């Protein structure tokens, strides 16, 4: 049975290493969000670096998730002192559990504050795609899918919640969020 991959990417207003209260607040809430999401039904796994320090994303060992990568439009720093991005790569059983985890609870509270921490851009902030059972998506794949979404819009290869596809490539949605399925009408 296929699983759903989710890659998120945002450019922060200041580096993760910045000791400012707003940066610390973002980092602290991020840790709490990760804990909660990892306990959510339907969550399978997320990319976690082995022994990485705060902001050390590019130098970290990501294991099966591959070498760390970012979209071409990211133009800020790449060292632990200058990195100004937040990104995740996760694996889910299906679209509904991923959406429930992202749009409820503590993560929803963080989303409501995203403009405090993130720059506004014309680029998409996330992308979904289906992977075969047993496949671990990579950072490079997540970046490629996000860039494809930016350049071509939603398609079975790379899609958003509001223009989602099932594993077979048929447009689908969750009631109230995307194209209506017959059973939602």
The string of pLDDT tens digits covering residues 110-157 is 999 999 999 999 999 999 999 999 999 999 999 999 999 999 999 999
**Token pair of 46 as six digits:** 């997320």
CB 82 within 8 A of CB 90: no
Name the packing angle between helices 95-102 and 105-112 (round to 10°). Answer: 60
Residues 167 and 170: their CA atoms lie apart, in Å, by: 7
Name the H helices within 21-113. Answer: 21-37, 95-102, 105-112
Please report, in tens digits, the pLDDT of each residue of the chain (185 residues total): 999 999 999 999 999 888 888 888 888 898 899 999 999 999 999 999 987 777 789 989 999 999 999 999 999 999 988 999 999 999 999 999 999 999 999 999 999 999 999 999 999 999 999 999 999 999 999 999 999 999 999 999 999 999 999 999 999 987 655 443 333 32
Contact 25, 102 (CB under 8 A): no
Instruction: Report pLDDT for 180.
Output: 38
Q: What is the CATH number of the domain that holds 142?
A: 3.30.70.100
Q: What angle do CA 15, 10, 67 make, to 5 degrees?
A: 85
Q: Which two tokens stand for residue 83?
A: 């990195």
Helix (H) / strand (E) element for 57: namely none
- What per-residue confidence (pLDDT) applies to 48? 92
Number of domains, the chain = 1
Give the structural domain span for 101: 3-184
Cα 130–chain centre separation: 14
Separation CA 25–CA 10 (nearest Å): 16
- Total residues found in the chain within this entry: 185
Residue with tokens 């689908």: 172
- 67 backbone dihedrals φ, ψ, rounded to 5°: -70, 140
Q: Which residue has the tokens 């992977």?
A: 131
Provide CB contacts within 8 A for 104, sequence distance 6+.
none
Specify whether the CB–CB gap between 174 and 181 falls below 8 A: no
């Amino acid at each position: 049975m296929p699983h759903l991959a989710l890659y998120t990417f945002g450019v922060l207003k200041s580096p993760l290493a910045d000791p400012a209260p707003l940066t610390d607040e973002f980092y602290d809430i991020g840790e709490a969000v990760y804990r909660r999401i990892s306990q959510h039904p339907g969550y399978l796994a997320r990319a976690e670096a082995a022994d990485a320090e705060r902001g050390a994303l590019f130098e970290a060992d990501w294991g099966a998730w591959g070498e760390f990568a970012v979209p071409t439009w990211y133009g800020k720093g790449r060292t632990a002192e200058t990195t100004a991005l937040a990104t995740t790569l996760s694996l889910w059983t299906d679209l509904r559990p991923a959406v429930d985890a992202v749009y409820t609870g503590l993560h929803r509270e963080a989303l409501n504050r995203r403009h405090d921490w993130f720059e506004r851009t014309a680029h998409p902030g996330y992308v979904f795609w289906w992977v075969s059972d047993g496949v671990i998506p990579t950072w490079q794949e997540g970046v490629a899918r996000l860039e494809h979404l930016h350049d071509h819009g939603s398609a079975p290869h790379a899609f958003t919640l509001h223009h989602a596809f099932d594993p077979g490539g048929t447009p689908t949605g969750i009631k109230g969020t995307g194209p209506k399925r017959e059973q939602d009408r």
